[in-house]
Amino acid sequence: MFSCIIMKFADWFPYYQGIRVDFGYSTEKDQEAAKILSEMIKKKALDPKVLQRKIKSKNVIVVGAGPSLEDEKVAKYIKKNKKFVKIAADSAVQFLIENKIKPDIVVTDLDGNSKFLQKAEKNGAIIVVHAHGDNTDIIKKLVPKFRKLVGSTQVAPVENVHNFGGFTDGDRSVFLAEEFGAKKIVLVGMDFGNDIGKYSKEKVKDPELKKQKMQAGRRLLEMLARQSRSQLVDTAHKPIKGFSPLTI
């Protein structure tokens, strides 16, 4: 289904269409957001091959902002596996930095705490900023504060803005790791349940909508698991179908 470098939009589009219908999104607004981001990052866009060099054939930990992050075992597990590439899904970057763990990549639609997103970049993380129809205002406000970044979208790619697949920051992080050839992908803090973790709560205006989005993300990862080239592992209490369970 996926190419070796950038996923084919035609393969992703049917999944996007299902999401668009379920949540009432506008393709036109999503596409306009991608164009706005493209224009803003002309002089600061990173080639996505930087992600490939970071991820290809490596073991990766994708860190979500779910409630299981509050278990002290999580930070210990990540620190123990210090050679793993660490991808933070948006608000999870705060957890990593507070626990003195440097993220290698941060995938964000800029909902998270901007102070920690900027600190992650200063510490060397590659920032992947996602544009969609609902976040153009925050893109205009925050993108100028980053030195370099990779742009992403959930609709047709445009110059310097790529479609790696995925919907929420969490599942999009997994799609990205898969896209760039990770050997193994371990999920931590990716609970996809009914509870919202403390690192996400302050930014969530509609808890029910958040839960629906998490379920959509879970379904996408179940789909990904059926055709993944990577070894997929989930530390959640209720692992995603197709992921091997791991107790930490």
- Taking the C-alpha atoms of residue 215 and residue 238, their distance in angstroms, rounded to an integer, is 13
In the block, tokens 């055709």 appear at: 227
Which of 92, 124, 129 has its CA nearest to residue 109?
129
pLDDT in tens, 104-152: 999 999 988 899 999 999 999 999 999 999 999 999 999 999 999 999 9
Q: What topology does CATH give the domain 9-245?
A: sialyltransferase cstii, chain A (3.90.1480)
Cβ neighbours of residue 3 under 8 Å, at least 6 residues apart?
Answer: none
pLDDT in tens, 222-233: 999 999 999 999
Per-residue pLDDT tens digits for 32-44: 999 999 999 999 9
Please report, as a single letter, which amino acid is at residue 22. D
| DSSP structure string for 111-155 | -S-HHHHHHHHHTTPEEEEEE-TT-HHHHHHHGGG-SSBEEEESS
Q: What pLDDT score does 11 carry?
A: 83
Is the CB of residue 109 less than 8 Å from the CB of residue 84? no
Q: What is the pLDDT of residues 154-208, one digit of tens each?
A: 999 999 999 999 999 999 999 999 999 999 999 999 998 777 767 665 566 677 8
- What H or E segment, with its residue span, contains residue 77? helix 72-80
230-248 mean pLDDT: 96
Q: Residue 113 class from Cβ within 10 Å (0-12 exposed, 13-18 middle, 19+ buried)?
A: middle
Average pLDDT over residues 207-219: 89
